[in-house]
Copies of this chain bind each other. A is one copy, B any other.
Amino acid sequence: MTTVSDLASGTAAWSAALHAEVQQFYAYQMQLLDLAEAQRWAATFTEDATFAVPTLAEPVRGRAGLVAATTRSHAELAAAGQRHRHFMGMLDVRPRPDGAVAVRSYAVVYASEVGGRSRVHRVCVCEDVLVRGGGGELLVSARTVTRDDLA
């Protein structure tokens, strides 16, 4: 959990270029998720990434687990005639001394019924640790998502 003292500290290496790169990364990553491109989406996480959500007792670990979880979610959505869009923003980007980048952001999930209406589905806070892959690209090594509708 990011605390406010974390938020206020350690912005030595913050740069406008990094902020834009993080935005581009999330746009690409979330579009892959919503396109049901599970393998490509999972490849934006490290091999041993953790993904913690409040509805699972244990974090999902590793790319195979991520692929399985998102493939199941998409199948359920399709069966229900629903589409989801993950819209992130308010990216608070904080480089850490170890070279990783902590990002705390808001993520709103919209749901649309095909042939029906669109609405807000979930309002979430997303706390990521981003690291660099072998080609210098950003990857999520740890993600923790909380939901405003849950205690």
* Residues of chain B contacted by A116 (CB below 8 angstroms): 149
Chain A interface residue number, banded: 35 or more
Decide: A90 and B123 in contact? CB cutoff 8 A: no
Known contacts A17-B16, A24-B19, A40-B4, A87 near B106 by CB under 8 Å: yes
Q: Could you tell me if B27 and A113 are in contact, using CB atoms closer than 8 angstroms? A: no
Q: Given A7-B28, A23-B19, A37-B4, A149–B114 Cβ distance below 8 Å?
A: yes
Contacting residue for A149 out of B35, B117, B120, CB 8 A: B117
CA distance A16 to B10 in the complex (A): 22
A88 touches B85 (CB 8 A): no
- Tell me if A83 counts as interface (CB < 8 A to partner B): yes
